[in-house]
Structure 1
Amino acid sequence: MTPRPVIGISTHVLEAAWGRWDTIRTVLLGERYPAVVQAAGGLAVLLPPDAAEHAADAVARIDALVIAGGSDIDPARYGAARHPETVASEPERDAWETALLRAALDAGLPVLGICRGMQLLNVVCGGTLLQHLPDVVGHLGHVGAADTYGRHPVRPVPGTLVGGLLPEAWVDVPTFHHQAVDRLGEGLSVSAWAEDGTVEAVEGAGFTIGVQWHPEQGDDLRLMTALVRTAAARAAAVPG
């Protein structure tokens, strides 16, 4: 049996409570992230925040990297003052995921950034973010109701990697975000748009994709299946 490719997924470290514990620092990740990796044929491995100098070692032991969604990125990382609606509360995660992304890009590892993960990919490549999208588009259509994900259509760009994987003119996606790409990072191109002009996907060299929506919250496995397939082919081509 061919080994499943190892897909590393970044995680949170947050205060949580359950059972007899009122508060305990906990490594957290929504169950849907590893579930879609497994459904796509990959072996999911969680990557909790660590010292940045260990990122290259972590990347060397996985076949692809998923940067998961989560809280806002510290705007100081792209040279901006904090907007009143920005909730940037995970500096350790910011530093760790930045290091992971840089190591993965340097190594040519397949990468999928989801929501915050797409935004961080853009920032790592030198881009900037719109810190509160409703200020720009004038509506809350990218954010679901309390404790739910919204849905809206996105338009993949023909001729791009995302456009090839999602060839429909419009794709309905699960969404939950209030920030978005502003200035595009170096080496990235836009590969999907929302109806209101919001950047919904970016891509770079090799298999480097960021999507602003949450594919793990739906039943469309095409992006994750492509990531796993690319990771498997890369692993098979690497000696030893």
Structure 2
Amino acid sequence: MKPWVGVTVHMDEGKEDDLYPHHPLLYVERDYIQALEEHDMNPVLIPVLSNAGNVPDYLEKLDGLIMTGGGYLNLSKPLSASTRLRETGSKRFAFEEQFLKAAVESGMPVLGVCRGMQMINEVFGGNLQNLKNNDHHQEVKGLEGSLPVHGLELDSSSYLANIIGNKPLQVNSRHRQVISQTGKGLKPVAWSKDDQLIEAIESVEDRWLIGLQFHPEQLYKKEQRWSLLFQPFKDAALAYRNSQV
């Protein structure tokens, strides 16, 4: 039996510096979809809706949730002075905030990736800061997203380390903001080796809520330890489904 996993999508307004000018889009990178399929899960794209009142109807049909990263970004364009997601992508944030809160309250397993991790952190009251340079966005250097570029240090007592092991490993990096303060009920459990920036968070309570600043959906084919993350996520989704019967 395969669980049904919701996958959030990026929203733009079709502005001149968006992916397809004059064509407002909802979209997501296929890596998320392929990772779920290859780990025996059924992905379901969750559109950004103007009416958050429909959130319960969607959640009834889902067993798990993936909070995805951001969309197309002109890397030559300076970052906004604001570090708050609710101010730099307000419509997407408003919808995902309601969706995330409802999913967590229900006990549904949630995995946040890149912007998705930052989303979890901000919704729970945490803060972000802009990085002073682009050292943590490898595409600025012309490096493909599936290429690991820096070391990761794990808290050996964390659930994440329990899942994938605590041996040294390398991860990819596609972000220009980083968590400066974790939200209520969350704790940092992994850091970039060289500069100790927060690379993963998880719930301090007994719930399946994990955020990763990097992209495991692009890493598991070359680093099989990341498949160890998707398997317990699937198991948690099936357990959640059974608990709702």
TM above 0.5, yes or no, is: yes
Question: Which structure has more strand as a fraction of its residues?
Answer: 1
Task: Report the 3-state secondary structure (helix = DSSP H, G, I; strand = E; otherwise coil) of the residue aligned with 2:181.
Answer: coil
Partners of 2:11 and 2:71 within 8 A in 1: no
Partners of 2:10 and 2:27 within 8 A in 1: yes
Between the aligned residues of both structures, percent identity stands at: 27
Q: Provide the rounded CA distance (Å) in 2 between the counterparts of 1:187 and 1:96.
A: 21
Alignment of 1:99-110 (within 5 A): 99-110=98-109
RMSD, aligned α-carbons: 2.5
**Equivalent position of 2:136 in the other structure:** 142
**Equivalent position of 1:25 in the other structure:** 24
Q: Which moved more, 1:22-31 or 1:208-217?
A: 22-31
Structure 1 residue 62: Cα displacement: 0.4
Structure 1 residue 213: Cα displacement: 0.4
**Equivalent position of 1:68 in the other structure:** 68
Q: Provide the rounded CA distance (Å) in 2 between the counterparts of 1:64 and 1:89.
A: 26
- Which AA in structure 2 matches 1:158? S
Partners of 2:191 and 2:198 within 8 A in 1: yes
Q: Deviations over 1:142-163 (max 9, x none)?
A: 1103463362111121121111
- Which AA in structure 2 matches 1:61? K
Alignment of 1:1-240 (within 5 A): 2=1, 4-14=2-12, 15=14, 23-50=22-49, 51-70=51-70, 83=81, 89-130=88-129, 132-133=130-131, 135=132, 140-146=134-140, 148-149=144-145, 151-195=149-193, 196-204=195-203, 205=205, 206-219=207-220, 220-239=226-245
Question: Structure 2 unaligned runs (5+)?
Answer: 73-79, 221-225
TM-score by length of 1: 0.83
Q: Deviations over 1:3-37 (max 9, x none)?
A: x1000000023339xxxx97433321101111101
Partners of 2:68 and 2:112 within 8 A in 1: yes
Q: Deviations over 1:53-98 (max 9, x none)?
A: 22233222200010000069xxxxxxxxx52798965321111111
Question: Structure 1 unaligned runs (5+)?
Answer: 73-81
Partners of 1:193 and 1:200 within 8 A in 2: yes
TM-score by length of 2: 0.81
Over 3 Å counting, the alpha-carbon distance change for 1:96 and 1:22 in structure 2 is closer
Partners of 1:143 and 1:178 within 8 A in 2: yes
Over 3 Å counting, the alpha-carbon distance change for 1:187 and 1:84 in structure 2 is closer
Structure 1 residue 189: Cα displacement: 1.1
Over 3 Å counting, the alpha-carbon distance change for 1:90 and 1:235 in structure 2 is same
Partners of 2:191 and 2:197 within 8 A in 1: yes
Task: Report the 3-state secondary structure (helix = DSSP H, G, I; strand = E; otherwise coil) of the residue aligned with 2:23.
Answer: strand
